[in-house]
Structure 1
Amino acid sequence: MKNVSILGCGWLGKPLAVSFLEEGYFVKGSTTSEEKITDLEALDIESYIVNISEFEEFDTFLNTDILIIAITSKDIDGFENLISQIQNSSVQKVIFISSTSVYDSLNKVVTEEDAVLNTPLTAIENLFRENNFFETTIIRFAGLFGGERHPSNWFKNDKKIPQPKGFVNMIHREDCIEIMHEIVAQNCWNTTFNACSNHHPTRREFYTIAKLSRDFETPEFENNDVYKWKIISSEKLQKTLDYTFIHDDLLSI
């Protein structure tokens, strides 16, 4: 299968599309902005305007083998419509990008076996997980950074950073892209993965170094009486895919 469509060619989806092009795939990409079509076409990405909330027909975009869903929409009705169209398309495999925000902070290490919150995102995950017309792998990415998305730019305007004794759960964009390539290359479907660096410095340590590395002032932190945290485990992903993180020392980045 050498045809892939990427729904949402933004901060993650656009470089992901380029990486598949470099491996010889025919790539279709979507955006909701007419202005971005030219940028995508300049990269040799066959480009489409797709907004799942507008309930249009996406049959040409979905004429592909693999669909990667990289949008932040939580529109359950929109996803139900999208899935009904996927069922009637040539799509055989789906990667749905989710988030570790589905887990509550219960002061413990969290695996894919742990309970999730009752949110629109978990409901959308289940729509894909329960569909038998195609195979889906769900990736729950931790906090995303890389490129122009640098943690030093977060918590601006004198906003104090909460939970300084908690731990960060982060993953670099390069690892996100490589993990998706491994899922496709190893034909690893019908499962759910957490994807997060193994390094979990405290929020105080991480954000202090991030701010100082870009010549910002030392950040201020809230003085929380009750500390809430979670540590996301990616052990399942690393064992299943034999994956080694490219960026596994968050403080060195």
Structure 2
Amino acid sequence: MKKISILGCGWLGKPLAISFLEEGFAVKGSTTSKEKMATLASVGVEPYLVNISKFKEVNAFLTSDILIVAITSKDVAGFENLVSQITNSPIQKVIFISSTSVYPRINKIMAEEDVLDENNPLVKIENLFRKNTFFKSTIIRFAGLFGGERHPGNWFKGGRKIPQPKGFVNMIHREDCIAIIHEIINQNCWNETFNACATHHPTREEFYVNARNSKGLEAPIFEKNEKYEWKIISSSKLENVLGYSFIYDDLLSI
């Protein structure tokens, strides 16, 4: 039985853990909340209390074959300590969940080899995993996340204005996130970096008007007279290398 550890069993990590349990993996999962440990245990996950910013040893949690890092922390020092512990653990392979926020808005289609925003701490954190030779790692840069209780129609409430209405949407559904992670493991695809984003890119105005309408909410308010800045995230490498087809690709029909 393969053992997998998932650092961060929240909106993405918990259903991901359940999906691996259904495939027969032994799954260890972490949370920073004592209250959530019982919930993880109730679905069959072996729960651990882990906060990488507290610099505690997590040897038992890292006693697995594969580690998936699915936390939102951007604590570079915390990740340096974590990578050091992984180096001295049985972990052989790591998937690090990053974000397409590493790309600046420079009005072009962005692929994995394009310029990054060097001020974004995720760039430094990605490199901690990428440059370590004691384990294999693959970086997934997910676009904007939605699915489940996370519905775009609920964003920008309270009169908040949505910026860049003529820019383009870069989004990915949670079910696609989970499926892509499984594909990387199933296809043994390591030491790679992938963008992961639906291939449909409506304008932000189209997308958020549609999202509000789908929930019967008032129309969104958009910023005006901004400098026009956009980016479109390309998932061509993901599609070509993994042969992946998105489950939720038409962002206006979901």
Per the alignment, residue 172 of structure 1 pairs with: 173
Residues 146-168 of structure 1: CA distance to partner in whole angstroms, max 9, x if unpaired? 00000011001101111100000
Please, which runs of 5 or more residues in structure 1 have no aligned partner? none
Contact 1:162–1:224 at 8 Å: present in 2 too?
A: no
2:83 is aligned to 83
Verify the 8 A CA contact 1:137 1:191 in the aligned structure 2.
Answer: yes
Paired AA for residue 74 in structure 2: K
Q: Secondary structure of 1:166's partner?
A: coil
- Cα distance per residue 1:17-44 (max 9 Å; x no partner): 0000000000000000000001000001
C-alpha distance after superposition, 1:171-223 (max 9, x if no partner): 00000000000000000000100000000000000000001110111111111
Instruction: Give the Å deviation of 1:224.
Output: 2.8
Runs of 4+ with deviation above 3 angstroms: none
Give, in whole Å, the separation in 1 of the partners of 2:161 and 2:33. Answer: 34
Identity of aligned residues (%): 69
1:211 match: 212
Q: Within 5 Å, give how 1:51-200 maps onto structure 2.
A: 51-118=51-118, 119-200=120-201
1:221 paired residue number: 222
Q: Distance in 2 between matches of 1:172 and 1:193?
A: 16
* Amino acid corresponding to residue 68 of structure 2 in structure 1: I
- The question of whether the paired residues in 1 share the 8 Å contact of 2:146 and 2:174 is answered with yes
SS in 2 for 1:96: strand
Query: TM-score, length-normalised on structure 1?
Result: 0.99
Alpha-carbon distance between aligned partners in 2 of 1:62 and 1:69, rounded to the nearest angstrom: 11
Alignment: residue pair count: 253
Other-structure match for 2:49: 49
Contact kept in structure 2, 1:163 and 1:224, CA below 8 Å: no
Deviation at 1:243, TM superposition (A): 0.3
Per-residue CA shift, 1:219-252, capped at 9, x if unaligned?
A: 1111134210000000000100000000000111
Contact 2:8 2:70 in 1 (8 A): yes
Distance 1:31 1:11 in 2: 11
Deviations 1:5-60 (A, max 9, x none): 00000000000000000000000000000000010000010000000011111000
CA distance in 2, matches of 1:74, 1:109: 25
Q: Please tell me the residue identity of whatever aligns with 2:212.
A: K
CA contact (8 A) 1:74 1:120 kept: yes
Conserved? CA contact 2:147–2:173, under 8 Å: yes
Moved more, 134-143 or 219-228: 219-228
Distance 1:108 1:79 in 2: 31
Note if contact 2:164-2:226 (Cα within 8 Å) is conserved in structure 1: no
TM-score, length-scaled by structure 2: 0.99
Code of the residue aligned with 1:134 in structure 2: it is F
Secondary structure of 1:64 counterpart: coil
1:86, 1:168 → 2: CA distance?
A: 35
Distance in 1, matches of 2:19 and 2:146, equals 18
Structure 2: where are the runs of 5+ without partners? none
| One-letter amino acid matched to 2:228 | Y
Instruction: Name 1:18's counterpart in structure 2.
Output: 18
Secondary structure of 1:29's partner? strand
Q: What SS is found at the alignment partner of 1:189?
A: coil
RMSD, aligned CA: 0.7
